[in-house]
Structure 1
C-alpha cells in the first residue's frame, strides 16, 4: 500500500516512483496545518457493484476495460458513488485512511468556502481584491476583483509550466516550501510571492488564464473576510458538519500561510463525500453546507468567451470555468475538479454519479491520460444512467 516505498524526500517527492509514497505522506516532508473532523462519521453505504473489468472504454481508436484504464492512468485510489452508494472502490497504492494530496482539487474546495462567506455577507465577489488584502496594491491583483480571481480571469504575467526548473512555478514552489531551500531564488513565503506578480497587457476578465497563485490569494482573501485562519474555517464549516472520516491537512509555508491552491491532503472517502455534497447541491449529512445558489451559479454562469480565449480549450472545447470548477460541456450535467498528476472529482447530475480518483501520474499535466480518464468517467456514467 502507500507505505511500501518510503523513499521520497523534499527534492524528489513529486517524481515517479517516489511520488507513490510521497503523495500519501506529505506531512512527513512539508509543514502542515490540521483540518480536524468530529464524530459521528457520515457513512457511505454499499450499492450494486459495478464491474470495472467488463466495462469497455473506447478511446483514441482503441478499446480497454475501465480496470485497465485505472492501471494505465497510475491510479492510487478510485471510488464511485451512485445516488450516494458505493458501487466501485479500488485502493491500489494507499489505504482508506491515507490522506493523499489532491493538488488543484484543493482549489475547488477552497472556493466552496468563498461561497459560504458570500451567502453570509462576509465576502463580495464583485469587490476589488484590495478591499480584503490591501497588500496587493501595485501587483497584478491591485485592480482585479474577487470574481476575476475565482474564475482565473486575472491579467497576470505567470507561466504555469510545471517542468521548467528555472521558471515561475519553480520560484513559486520555493516560496511555498515545496522544494529544498536554495535551489532557486524566490520570495519569502507565499504571500510575498503573490504581491510580487506583475500584470499582463490585456484587461482583467478578458480570458481564462490558469494561474495557481490566484487560488492562494483566494485563501488569503477568505481568511481576511472571515477573520479566521483557513484550516480552522474549513474544519468548522465543512469537515465537521459533513462528518468526514479523517482529519485532513494542508501544507503551509514557513510563515504559516496555507497552500490553498494545491496543498490539501484528504482521504479517498472524504473526497467522495465532498463530491456527493456538491451533487446534492450543497446538502450533506442532514445539513446545508454550501449554498445551492453558489453551485447553480457554477453550473450555469461560466463565461464561454473567457474560456474560448484560454489555453485549455483543447481539453474541453465547449467548456466553462467558474469558481474553481470545470463545466466540460454546458449542454450536459457534468462538473469536474481536476488536479495535476491525475486527481479528479467527476460529478454527473443526470447519472446520479460521483467519481473520485487519486493518482501518481509521472507527468504533472498529461493531456492523453486526462482524456482517457475523462472517457472512462463518461463510460461509467453511461452504465449508471
Structure 2
C-alpha cells in the first residue's frame, strides 16, 4: 500500500499557517496562488481592451513611487489613464503580465454584483441578512445588508493578522486556501458564515469594523438572489473589463467564489478592472452608476488612522472621488472616478503577519499623489 501525506502547500504547521502563506514561502505563494489553491475558477475575456503606450516617468515625478518600486516587497505596478498605459514596472523576479494574488481587492467584485442586483430589483439594502439566508447564524441574521456592505457590523468575528488563532485564518479553510488539521472535513462557506455569533445592533459606527466574513455573507446573499450563477457574473465582469490574461479565483467546497480575497490578476488586468469604476470600459453593464454614485457621496464609516481620509462605502474604500481597495500582503487598487486614472500596485510583505499598517498607508498615500499629479492631463475617452 502506497502511503500519502497531507498536501504540503495547504497544510498548517505549529504557526497555524499553510506553507504558501508562511514568510519564507509567501512571495512564491502570492506569485503562484492561482496554482496553489485547493480549487479555483479561471476565466478569460471574450474581447481584450487594448492599451496604447504613452509613457510618463512617474517615479521621477512622484518620489514616493520610486521608493515603493525599490522596496523589497514590490512585485508589479501599472498605471492606466483610460486606454493609455502611462507607466508600468515589475520586480526582477516578476512581470506586469503575470498573475498575482490580489487578496481583498477581490472584494470590489461584490460592489459590482450588488449594484447589478439592485438595478434588477432583486436586492434591498434595508433588508436583514436573514431575509435572504434563513439559516444564517446569530452573528449576521439581524444585520442590515447595507451595514454588511459598509463594514459596519459588530459581531464576534476577528480579523487580527497578528493573532494566528484569529477567525480570519479559520475562514481560509472555507475559501480553499488551506486544509483543516487532522484530516477533518472542509467547512463550506455557508457553514463557516453560520458559525459567526454575537451580533451587536446599534447606529452606524464612526470607524469601519473590517471583517472579511462580511464578504462571505454577501457572497451567499448574491448566490441566493441572483437568477444566474455567480460564475456567470464573473464572466460578465471579465468581459466588461477586457482582460488580456486570465482571472483566477479560489472556490469554497460548495464551489462559491471567494470574493473575500481569492482573486488573482496581473497588474495590467487589475488596472483594466479599475477602469470599470470610472466608466471607461466601454461596457454599460458594470457598474450600476446610481449605486456607485450613492456609495461615493453618502456618509459611511471611515478607516482607522492614518487612512481615515478614506471611508468604507458599498464594499469599497473612497474619499468621494478616489475609490479602490487594499489587500492583505501589500496590494492596492486606486481609481480616480473623475479622470479615469487606474493604479494597480502588487507586493508581498514577508514579515510574520503579512501586514504592515504603515506600509499600506504609504502605498495609499503614494497612489493618491499619483492620481493628483495626473489630474490635470486631458481626460481620456
TM-score normalized by the length of structure 2: 0.85
Partner of 1:272: 271
CA distance in 2, matches of 1:370, 1:38: 30
CA distance in 2, matches of 1:279, 1:322: 16
Runs (4+) of structure 1 exceeding 6 A deviation are: 183-187
2:330 is equivalent to residue 356 of structure 1: no
Partner of 2:128: 128
Partner of 1:209: 209
Q: Which of residues 328, 333, 337 in structure 1 aligns to 2:325?
A: 337
2:378 is equivalent to residue 379 of structure 1: no
2:56 is equivalent to residue 50 of structure 1: yes
List per-residue Cα deviations over 1:290-334 (Å, max 9, x = no partner): 11112111211132xx43xxxx3213334321111112x44xx21
Partner of 1:62: none
CA distance in 2, matches of 1:186, 1:372: 40
- Aligned residue for 2:346, secondary structure, equals strand
Partner of 2:19: 12
CA distance in 2, matches of 1:254, 1:19: 24
2:287 is equivalent to residue 290 of structure 1: yes
Partner of 2:43: 36
Partner of 2:314: 323
CA distance in 1, matches of 2:166, 2:47: 46
How big is the shift at 1:349?
A: 3.9
CA distance in 1, matches of 2:331, 2:269: 14
How big is the shift at 1:73?
A: 6.3
Moved more, 244-253 or 292-301: 244-253
CA distance in 2, matches of 1:56, 1:42: 27
Moved more, 167-176 or 181-190: 181-190
Alpha-carbon RMSD = 2.4
- Structure 1: runs of 5+ lacking an equivalent: 1-7, 58-64
CA contact (8 A) 1:12 1:18 kept: yes
Q: Which of residues 13, 33, 45 in structure 2 aligns to 1:26?
A: 33
How big is the shift at 1:185?
A: 8.1
Count of residue pairs the alignment pairs up: 357
How big is the shift at 1:210?
A: 0.6
Partner of 1:100: 100
